[in-house]
Structure 1
Amino acid sequence: MDPVARMSFRCTDFSLEVFALFFSVSQATSASLLQLLLEISSCLSNDTTVPDSSAIAQCVAIVNNRTAPVGGQAEEAVPLQDIVFNLPTISLMCSLLICVLLGGWSDSHGRKPLFILPILGALSKDISSVVFVLTEFLYEGPIYAITIVSGILGGINLFMAGALCHVSDNSDHRTRTLRFGVLSFVFFVGGAIATFFEKAWKPAMTSGTSLTMVGGGLFTVLMFVDLVCLIGVTVWVKESLRVLPGYSGNPFQNFVSLHYAKKVLDVVYRRRNLNGRSFVILLCLVFLLSRFVYCGEQEVWAEYLYGRFSWTHQTSLLLGLQFLCEATLTLLAVCLARKMGIQDSSLAIAGTLSFVASSALKAFSLSGSSIGFAVIIGALSPLMTIAALALLSKLVQPEEMGCLFANVAVLSVVAPVLATVVYRELFVATWWKASQLVYLLSILVATVVGLLLMYIRRNLHVGVLGILLQEEKVPLLGSMDSVSGAAVF
């Protein structure tokens, strides 16, 4: 096939991204709703009386007034709670085991379970939430229980790992970075839509009756969305795994064995040609540190704006605009990189510089008028992780993709958990009067990431691909003069 012809795309190539968008919006909205129910149930648990409609209405008012401004100023100096790192973190931690077991398993038995199980978990969570809201069964224990069950089935973490596997299976070395950029765009836009949507439904919950009507209705809609996603990934998303010749074995027996867990670990530490193992380890470290600093800043960014400017509704709007800005500029950057043949390592360095510049502005010269500039300057930050994942996927063999992205799923849990602990403790210790220390930490870690990327850019070359040179992808490794598209590295 003509290499240039293989650079074109069809609409059906992005069928998974469509359902990923719906699923990401559903998961983010569900997390917001469950966080609100958790706060209300916590308020009810402090009440000595038996919970009834009047007690629920009172707790709804208390929770809403906790972050509501009065006369343009905050009623009390209580920092906003970032919902992204509460119940979702519990779900992420519970997804570790299933990601490790199913990642390697999918390399032999197919990718579909990587999508189906998380959606089934989301459906079970939505159905249980509808029952809890309609029956006013608002207790902390059941809310944590349905979150844990959903996490055990993989949650958004397993779905993302499956999406990365699917994209890697259906792309070559020139188009993979672009496909990862599109996937990142989808999840960022999903987060922005959920944030804007929250501004519409949250003010409507002003009493116990409105909580039942709005909450029950929203969870019903989310249940329908998840059902559409389940049907979509089952029927319209094609299985992307290559058939392994000569393979035999019982899928269930292979799943419960620890054979695939060992393969997940081996994919990082196995020996590769031309010191390829060192580059795999370095890129995993780059991904971990990049996620650490990005999640850490997101953890305290909303509270920082609230503490410094007493913003509540403005903060929510700004977060949604930030997600949308990052999604748009990142997608434009990867498209431009593909057009001009910019190396993935250079793309990652650009993302690092964007993050450092934004952190420096936040640390030393942030004001109400410069917040927008800080958001725009840092909009290319996701390129750090996108380019690192693209490079990783080009260093391993096609039959190792599931194992690779199982490791990525584990790092995707470790990074935000560490960031929550480190950044929140540092932020609380210094509060907003000395919060520059938070952004100085980000600059320091991002500088380390930049140095690692410069080393990788200098020393990584096509020969590290090893036996991939013997496959049909050889024409893709030609000079940029013969074919257009992003460079291999």
Structure 2
Amino acid sequence: MIQATQALQGPLFTQYLWDRISEDVGFNSTKSQECNSSVPIDPTQKEVQTLVAHWNLYISLGGLSLGLLVVPFLGSWSDKAGRRPLLIFPSLGLALETMVYLIVMYMRLPVGYFLLGRMLSGLSGDFNCILASSFAYIADTSDKRSRTFRVAILEACVGLSGMLASIIGGKWMRAHGYINPCWLVLTARLTSALYSYLFVCESVRTDPAVRLFSTCHHKALWRLYSTGGVQSTGSSHKYKLWLYTLCFFVVVGVHSGCRELYVLFELSPPLCWGSELIGYGSAVLHLAYLSSLLGLKVMIRCLEESWVALLGLLSNIAGLLVFTAANTTSLMFTGYGLLLFFMTTTPVIRSKLSKLVDPLEQGALFASIACVETLCFMVGSSVFNSLFPATLHFMKGFPFLFGAIALLIPAFIICALKCLDQRHERQS
């Protein structure tokens, strides 16, 4: 449910920024005129594109930087305090964020006030804290054989909820504007917090004496990555932990950075999509979560997990390369179609990391992954939102080309680790 609100609010937020900033700078040209004429793009429109990208960057960094400080000790704290609090508190923080957004829209305050909402959400742990608790909950209640697929199921649920929200959001915004969908987001986030409080069962044995504000939570994360954890069998074990974490960082960084640009890329010429087409595009993107789950289910029966992750990277690279040159609606949807299995990579990496640590370290591990994910959003948002306006003058799709090249790094690391594992198996 929380992911559905993220998918519903994200594109609406970018479109609202576009409309508000267009009004502020006096850009009033109709999209049909811009797309059908051969006249060079209005410099005012380039200014709008640049300002929207920069405001997306500032507001994202405002929330994510605070989340980076909060998420690590919350995740480690959940090993003793339980997973349920990490489902409740961030949901309430996200609800406060939506309340601020509604106030800004109703009162037409300067867009800089959106930063306040993101900071409130960041202080509560933000969406990454909910993900960390959810994946730790899966690790608590599954064995190693079924863990990869169960992690993939959770990610598929995230994608399906996002797909439905995208379809609803695009049509709803076109018919009723921005306010009503935001009220739905607020209601859903409050409902999620209430549901977690009333119906979610605890998966770990809680310690009433554990303190929230304690340095021991950060120390647990440090021990995990400095020694490799309780199950460490030597330096190679620790290096695997670091290398898989690096793979996760690059993959999620590219995902998050590109996702922030899709709407901006589609709003501007030569595509000039409206809210309904943007909703359909976002829905097709989220549909890849389901196709990735089904593909993962089939592929893990005949392929080792590392090769499944590599196929996911290949799908991702192919889609981004098409986006690089996408200048028609059909080509843009072709790119979305090539992302058919792009979400098979992250559940495999999460599962491999989870299997490297002790059951009593799952909370600390997924806290560190959530922390890395926050860094991914910060770095991805900074890099891609900076690249887009900087490269508009020579190649509008350059950020997607950059993302495709960056994905070669985790592909090489996964191949290398797989070859080393095979060598060790032959030697033993």
Fold-level similarity (TM above 0.5): yes
For 1:67 and 1:269, locate their aligned partners in 2 and report how far apart those are by CA, in whole Å.
57
Alpha-carbon distance, 1:441 to partner: 2.5
| Paired position in structure 2 for 1:360 | 321
Q: Residue 200 of structure 1 is aligned with which of 161, 165, 171?
A: 171
Q: Residue 351 of structure 1 is aligned with which of 303, 308, 312?
A: 312
RMSD after superposition: 3.4
| Paired position in structure 2 for 1:239 | 202
For 2:314 and 2:350, locate their aligned partners in 1 and report how far apart those are by CA, in whole Å.
18
Q: Where do 1:44-63 residues align within 5 Å?
A: none
SS in 2 for 1:232: helix
Identity score, percent? 20
Deviations 1:221-257 (A, max 9, x none): 333322321222122221112x38xxx6623xx2211
In 1, are the aligned partners of 2:14 and 2:56 still within 8 Å (CA)?
no
For 1:374 and 1:90, locate their aligned partners in 2 and report how far apart those are by CA, in whole Å.
31
For 1:103 and 1:29, locate their aligned partners in 2 and report how far apart those are by CA, in whole Å.
26
Structure 2 length-normalised TM? 0.83
| Paired position in structure 1 for 2:130 | 159
Q: Residue 113 of structure 1 is aligned with which of 85, 97, 100?
A: 85
Q: Residue 405 of structure 1 is aligned with which of 355, 366, 389?
A: 366
Count of matched residue positions in the alignment of Structure 1 and Structure 2: 411
SS in 1 for 2:295: helix
One-letter code of the match for 2:186?
M
Q: Where do 1:60-99 residues align within 5 Å?
A: 68-70=31-33, 73=36, 76=42, 77-78=45-46, 81=52, 87-99=59-71
User: Which has more radius of gyration?
Assistant: 1
| Paired position in structure 2 for 1:261 | 218
Alpha-carbon distance, 1:218 to partner: 4.1
Q: 1:186 to 1:91 in 2, by over 3 A?
A: farther
Q: Where do 1:177-188 residues align within 5 Å?
A: 177-188=148-159
Deviations 1:180-208 (A, max 9, x none): 111111222233233223322323457xx
Matched, 1:282 2:243: yes
For 2:404 and 2:95, locate their aligned partners in 1 and report how far apart those are by CA, in whole Å.
40
In 1, are the aligned partners of 2:11 and 2:263 still within 8 Å (CA)?
no
For 1:84 and 1:347, locate their aligned partners in 2 and report how far apart those are by CA, in whole Å.
33
For 1:157 and 1:374, locate their aligned partners in 2 and report how far apart those are by CA, in whole Å.
27
Structure 1 length-normalised TM? 0.74
SS in 2 for 1:238: coil
In 1, are the aligned partners of 2:271 and 2:327 still within 8 Å (CA)?
no
- After TM superposition, the structure 1 stretch with the greater mean CA deviation from structure 2, 78-87 or 289-298, is 78-87
| Paired position in structure 1 for 2:285 | 323
Deviations 1:357-381 (A, max 9, x none): 2233444687554333322222222
In 1, are the aligned partners of 2:170 and 2:280 still within 8 Å (CA)?
no
Q: 1:423 to 1:150 in 2, by over 3 A?
A: closer
Q: Residue 419 of structure 1 is aligned with which of 380, 388, 402?
A: 380
Alpha-carbon distance, 1:104 to partner: 0.8
Unaligned runs of 5+ in 2: none
For 1:193 and 1:220, locate their aligned partners in 2 and report how far apart those are by CA, in whole Å.
17
Q: Residue 115 of structure 2 is aligned with which of 144, 167, 177?
A: 144
Matched, 1:224 2:197: no
Alpha-carbon distance, 1:294 to partner: 2.3
For 2:264 and 2:191, locate their aligned partners in 1 and report how far apart those are by CA, in whole Å.
35
| Paired position in structure 1 for 2:352 | 391
Unaligned runs of 5+ in 1: 1-21, 47-58, 207-213, 465-489
In 2, are the aligned partners of 1:30 and 1:222 still within 8 Å (CA)?
yes
